Structure 1
Amino acid sequence: MRNRVTKKTARWGAIGAAALVFSSGILPPHNIAEAQERYYQRRSILDFFLGRRYIDDYPPAPNESAPPRSIPKKKKTAPKATVAAPRPAPPVAPPEEKAVEKLDTAQKILVVGDFLAGGLGVGMDAAFQDSPGVVIETHSNVASGLVRDDYYDWPSQLTKFMDESKPAMVVVLLGANDRQQMVTDSGKEKFRTDGWFAEYQRRVASFGKEVTARKIPLLWVGLPAFDSPAMTADALQMNQLYRKQVESVGGEFVDVWDGFVNENGEFIVTGSDINGQQVRLRTSDGINLTEAGRRKLAFYVEKPVRRILGTQASPDLVRLDSSNVPALDLSSNPADHTDPISLSDPNLDGGTALLGGAAQPVSTGKSPRDRLVQDGEMAPPPAGRVDDYSMTPAKPAELSAK
């Protein structure tokens, strides 16, 4: 115990003396340098937990500059080669479809009507863009109809358009703006009254007769459903009127109602397009048509148009003149082509007469048919066939021997 205390006392005494000498500035120079060098060395974790203290735990003596701390140099490593990520290829724009050149003899389809007819004309342009024998010509007035003839006189305008374009067919889509008061010879008639419907029927029939009287096919397109229930109910009633009056003058009514309602007969904004995909057909106002809706509206008209025009509306129709004949260079080797041969040439097969020109050989005997019909004789069957009964019957002695 005594020795332990003595050693502890001696240790602390030594440390105190060293501190006194260090603080008074009388530490030998070689000890100062050694202390400064040890001051900058790291202590281990054992020194921290065991409480070991050295002279290097004290700062260097005054007026002595501390040596610069040596920082271990890091090994220079070659920079890693960075591989740039491959840039995505720029999107390739789809090739623009070349418009089919229309023939000089292409038939014109005249589309007339209100704002819906304008969209129908756009859809029909897309429907017949690949048909060189069909040209679509559209004349529409957004706010027009058959009621306000003081604003736009459709009967006179129709006559003007037909005289100018000489159409092969007329397509009409009117009525969306006609739900309003009408001025007649007898006065003003409110919408939905009997007088209003009577005058409106007369105007529809007269308008259609302007077309059919010229022996031009007439297609009258019905109104689609609308977002407003009142407009939808009126459109249903007016479609019935259109069908009756147009058919009475020799025209054809095109019903498009099922394409813009659901299975319950309700108005839809989104529905199937001509390819069966779900798309938006109507705009936010519930009245106008989107691009897909216009194309679907034209789809209903496209079918009767192709039926009436026949091959004229076919996309395979080509120009039948010298402008599209491929160039044939026969000057290089005349043996590459064969001269045409007449079908009546007897030398076609190396003979001197046409087939059937020689006399047929005459048979002196009767044919198997004649022997069967006239004499009742049947030609003997080939040997071994199922109906060959020409086997020689066995004799009784042969049977007994067996």
Structure 2
Amino acid sequence: MADRTAVLVVGLVAGFAVGRSFVPQPDVPPPIIAAPADVPGSGVATPAAVAAPAAPAVSPPAGVERAVVERVARTGVVRVGVFGDSFGVGVWDALYRLLPESEGYEVLRFSREATGFTRYRVDDLEKRAREQLAANPVDAAVISLGVNDAQDMWDGKLYPFMSDGWKQVVGDRVDRFVAVARSTGARVYWVGLPAMRDPALDAKVQALNGFFAAHMARLGVTFIDTRRLSVDPQGRYASHLPDPRSGTPRLVRTGDGIHMIGIGYQRIVAEAVAAIRRYAAQVREAAHRPVPAAPPEGAR
């Protein structure tokens, strides 16, 4: 009897346990496994996400301003502003042709005929340049001025050409003008004047070239000597000069004996173009913006 009672008790206990397994249990939330940040909603742990590589840092090389690198990094375009008088207009035309848009350049004309450092009562070069650059900041500035300054000047009193007073007034204006040209971070290049047919004017132009070259050396600005590119083998003025490729004499000057025609300006800016290209290559490398690829042949 005792054995039967023990078996009955064991059976009841086992039945109770089995029956309880079928009784609905109160809702118990499962343990929460936080999903890793890089796999939203996942219940499976994964390694931490690897951060995407940052954009290349803008690090300008020596002699290149950060503002220039940042502009070129943003736009992919190297902007060249050309300041000057009628010679500056010719220099602009030559640079526009030799630094084309297809190679990532934009050449802006800031030049105006009949201007100069001795004519501020008519045209304040600094004021105009400041306004031009505020609207269109540039990465390189090319200056060609002076042919209208081969004269005496009035600034409260008369200053004879190349007198101490003339040099002081004009020199101060030159220095301030270069500072304005540099205000956007631009590298500045000064293109000197070529030889003139009239001996008296030519002597004054040579004096001007020496005056400007000395100022540029002090300011750390590249001065492009164009005289040697505008004379014959004997160092004399020449209306025709050999073509650099064929050697055939070609007309390079206008009939006034002062200005040049298109290929003449292209001849005297060749060194400036080479210098700007070297500078642009530095800027593009720092900005991680290579020269645009040439369009496929025949593409419009």
After TM superposition, the score normalised by the length of structure 1 is 0.51
1:266 matched to 2:236: yes
Cα offset, 1:183, TM superposition: 1.8
1:123 matched to 2:97: no
**Alpha carbons 1:212, 1:251 under 8 Å: kept:** no
**Which stretches in structure 1 are left out of the alignment for 5+ residues?**
1-102, 325-402
Cα offset, 1:212, TM superposition: 3.1
Cα offset, 1:313, TM superposition: 8.1
**Which stretches in structure 2 are left out of the alignment for 5+ residues?**
1-73
User: What are the equivalent positions in structure 2 for 1:45-124 lying under 5 Å apart?
Assistant: 104-124=75-95
Residue of structure 2 equivalent to 1:63? none
1:301 matched to 2:275: no
1:318 matched to 2:300: no
Residue of structure 1 equivalent to 2:109? 138
CA distance in 1, matches of 2:133, 2:89: 17
- The structure with the largest alpha-carbon Rg is 1
Q: Identity of aligned pairs, percent?
A: 23
User: What are the equivalent positions in structure 2 for 1:161-180 lying under 5 Å apart?
Assistant: 161-180=132-151
User: What is the aligned-residue RMSD (CA, Å)?
Assistant: 2.5
Residue of structure 2 equivalent to 1:159? 130
- DSSP 3-state at the match of 2:263: helix
1:211 matched to 2:181: yes
- DSSP 3-state at the match of 1:195: helix
Cα offset, 1:132, TM superposition: 2.4
**Alpha carbons 2:252, 2:264 under 8 Å: kept:** yes
Cα offset, 1:153, TM superposition: 0.8
CA distance in 2, matches of 1:168, 1:294: 22
CA distance in 1, matches of 2:243, 2:87: 17
Cα offset, 1:255, TM superposition: 1.0
- DSSP 3-state at the match of 1:271: strand
- DSSP 3-state at the match of 1:158: helix
**Alpha carbons 2:197, 2:237 under 8 Å: kept:** yes
What amino acid is the match of 1:118? V
CA distance in 1, matches of 2:132, 2:177: 13
After TM superposition, the score normalised by the length of structure 2 is 0.67
CA distance in 1, matches of 2:119, 2:133: 21
Q: Could you say which structure has the greater relative contact order, defined with CA pairs below 8 angstroms and 6 or more residues apart?
A: 2
Cα offset, 1:319, TM superposition: 5.7
User: What are the equivalent positions in structure 2 for 1:238-387 lying under 5 Å apart?
Assistant: 238-275=208-245, 276-310=247-281, 317-318=291-292
Cα offset, 1:130, TM superposition: 6.4
**Alpha carbons 2:85, 2:111 under 8 Å: kept:** yes
CA distance in 2, matches of 1:149, 1:312: 35
1:200 matched to 2:138: no
Cα offset, 1:282, TM superposition: 0.2
